[in-house]
Structure 1
């Protein structure tokens, strides 16, 4: 598995969509599979923010630590994680689209351990479905919030 791209267009202002994806507390309210999220760095917003996310995956809790490495308000945010032998690099972008907001997520997964190199390609469909579900949840949340 190398790259997954998912796009959703929503009837919500850019700042609402960006605030939802860029703040882990808002994101965890939007995505039902996230059962707990906590900031674990002194930096609370923007580049350098580190946070721990606990989410349900196949009925089990999985914990991941993530870090914001790029942040341009109301434009894009990059979040990276090193988890279970894979480097995950996720870039969310927002832009206007005919009076609506387009949210795009591009997720790159680069396995560096043997087992993830074997398993990640087999799991690509499941991971893409989970990402699509997250994006659908963000769309629903943003459209209800404004």
Structure 2
């Protein structure tokens, strides 16, 4: 299942990028995340590993990830794996001037086990819902990055 979302943020790219890579900021805009810890931090970022825990319908879901691509203030790619699915997540940040940035999120999810059989249903639901969860997340990131920029 693939999804794509783009948002324009009234804040410079370097500030928006902080909201993608800083653990404390991430917890403020990513829905249902209750833990985000670095397992391995590499000097050039690529190869860094992390663990995240999400609360979904009252149950904890543990995910492990690796940063596979990193260009500061421009691009970040994450491979995330869990019991039910694997996810390839790409963020592309494009400055639209000194005070504005465009953030694009491309997500590919590969379901595992019994979830594979339900993937066509999830795919249709995502298309009909316009990838609502992604849009809600990015809108929250937009609000927080813009508020931080306004206060600097």
| Distance in 1 (alpha carbons) for counterparts of 2:55 and 2:145 | 22
Structure 1 unpaired stretches of 5+: none
Q: Which has the larger radius of gyration?
A: 2
SS across alignment from 1:40: strand
| Distance in 2 (alpha carbons) for counterparts of 1:45 and 1:132 | 30
Aligned in 2, Cα 1:62/1:127: closer, same or farther, shift over 3 Å? Answer: farther
CA root-mean-square deviation = 2.3
**Residue matched to 1:108:** 108
TM-score, scaled relative to structure 2 = 0.82
| Distance in 1 (alpha carbons) for counterparts of 2:33 and 2:17 | 18
TM-score, scaled relative to structure 1 = 0.85
Indicate the larger mover: 45-54 or 73-82: 45-54
Tell me if the contact between 1:79 and 1:91 (Cα under 8 Å) persists in the aligned partners: yes
Structure 2 unpaired stretches of 5+: none
**Residue by residue, what CA displacement relative to the aligned partner does 1:66-114 show, whole Å, maximum 9, x if unpaired?**
1100000011000011222533100001002255210100001233x44
User: How many corresponding residue pairs?
Assistant: 144
Equivalent residues in 2 for 1:1-146 (5 A)? 1=1, 3-43=2-42, 46-97=45-96, 99-111=99-111, 113-124=112-123, 125=126, 128-146=131-149
